Structure 1
Amino acid sequence: MKGLLKTLLLLLALFSFNLHNAQEETTTTEELSLDKGTIDSQFDYIYTKSGNYRADGKRYEVVRIISLDKLRKNVLDSLSAASKKAAELNATISGHEVTISSLNKKLEETTNSLASVTEEKDSMSFFGILVSKGTYNFILWTIIGCLLLFFLLFVYKFRRSNILTQEAKTALSELEIEYEDHRRRALEREQKISRQLQDEINKYKKSK
């Protein structure tokens, strides 16, 4: 008789839990989903969809395994996308470094040419044409100025790309920490539920 009473109480608790979940699903999960939104909102969805009930004075948490698997896949997809973005940024930075190195080499060559040219007197040859020293210097410094301008532009782009890369790495690190933390808590909840369920099964068996 005592075992039958416990069974009836357990069935009543499960029924009230399912009824409570059915009522909340129409209100609290309209904006939340595992198919869209941020990872944080998807965790909110998991918390909303999970439920609890009390039996024999104990509280039980219920989470669908399929929802946890879906959330895990979404987190891994987000990590993969972040890693791909970081790789693209690194490739962009490498390209800028090559360009800047080439510009530095050209600038050094131009500076060396300028040093030798300034030692010349009155007239100088520019592509086979004799021009005055002032005109020659004006043309040469104009070229150097353009090279310096391009050099500064590429330095700016390089620094900007580096900042974006660091931001992507930071975001990836935070996402990994957040995922590990949520995974650990989910695992702890699953283990707790399993232990409590086994305890109830053992109690039920003993009561027969």
Structure 2
Amino acid sequence: MNTIKINFLLFFFAIAAVSAQETQNAEQPTEPKVNTISQQFEDLLENSNNYQEYKVVKQNALQKLKSNAADSINGLKGQIVGLQEEIQTQDAKISELNKSLEDTQGTLDQTRAEKDSIFFLGMPMSKGSYMGMMWGIVAVLALALIFFIFKFKGSNAHTQEARQKLADVESEYEEYRKKALEKEQKMGRLLQDERNKAVKKQ
């Protein structure tokens, strides 16, 4: 029975304290300030009364905190939706830029390939292959030139030898012709002498 009376008295004092606090707050109104939800919870706990191990809070303050929390949550949800839309927009831009970058890279690779290649007889060739082929052709032509030079020198030597032989043959022929002419003249004189002798005998 004494316990019930003590609890009743404590409850009465708590109600009286809350009423006095509400009267004091009504007499000295404070300007509302913008705080975070965490700060509002701390303010609520600081402005609440103690009853045994419990905190006695004002219902309107709790409702206001609930409303503020709901507003903050809705605002955060709106920010999340806006950020998600912004992220989707940024992702679309990034995809578009990546595609543009790939197209640009492809064009650049094609330009480099065309720059590094040379069309020879209608066929594209790399500069390295083209230079190798050109130097190969030059080497073949140089070898052919050396071969023809040696062949020309050999042919020239044979020609000079043939000319020398021809000159010798012509010289021998001229000598033979002179001897044959002298012999023919000598035989003609002998024949004329024999004729003359025959005429004299008759």
Tell which structure's C-alpha radius of gyration is larger.
2
Q: Under a length normalisation based on structure 1, what TM-score does the superposition of the two structures give?
A: 0.42
Structure with larger RCO (C-alpha < 8 A, sep 6+): 1
